[in-house]
Amino acid sequence: GAVVSQHPSRVICKSGTSVKIECRSLDFQATTMFWYRQFPKQSLMLMATSNEGSKATYEQGVEKDKFLINHASLTLSTLTVTSAHPEDSSFYICSASLWGQPQHFGDGTRLSIL
């Protein structure tokens, strides 16, 4: 099956730090990548949809200046949490998909801001 690599798997850092998370589709060129946030015992909440070479589309309530998304190629998207604070602590998951095919997920990044 399709493989999506997400890195790092775990980040612990101080408040005010910016954190970059990478999402790579390893064996296919993804037309679209998605970024989700998941709180404990809750479902996945879509943050933004990212298409290669164009600006990301953010969901309502998600601050685009806080969560910067760059989709440089068909196999790489990055999410940067800028000036992170404790309330940004969460589990962040990316996925990649081709039109008409199911999305495949990375293993997620657990972000803890002290």
Partner 1 sequence: EDKVVQSPLSLVVHEGDTVTLNCSYEVTNFRSLLWYKQEKKAPTFLFMLTSSGIEKKSGRLSSILDKKELFSILNITATQTGDSAVYLCALEVTTSGTYKYIFGTGTRLKVLA
Residues of this chain that interact with partner 1 (CB under 8 A) are 1, 6, 32, 34, 36, 41-46, 49, 51, 57, 93, 95, 99, 102-108
Nearer to partner 1, 37 or 81 (CB): 37
Nearer to partner 1, 20 or 91 (CB): 91
* DSSP string of 54-85, one letter each residue: SPPEEPTT--TTTEEEEEEETTEEEEEETT--
CB of 69 to partner 1, least distance (A): 14
CB of 31 to partner 1, least distance (A): 9
Other beta carbons within 10 angstroms of residue 106's beta carbon come to: 25
The phi and psi torsions of 11 (rounded to 5 degrees) equal: -135, 130
Nearer to partner 1, 55 or 85 (CB): 55
Q: Two tokens at 114?
A: 């002290």
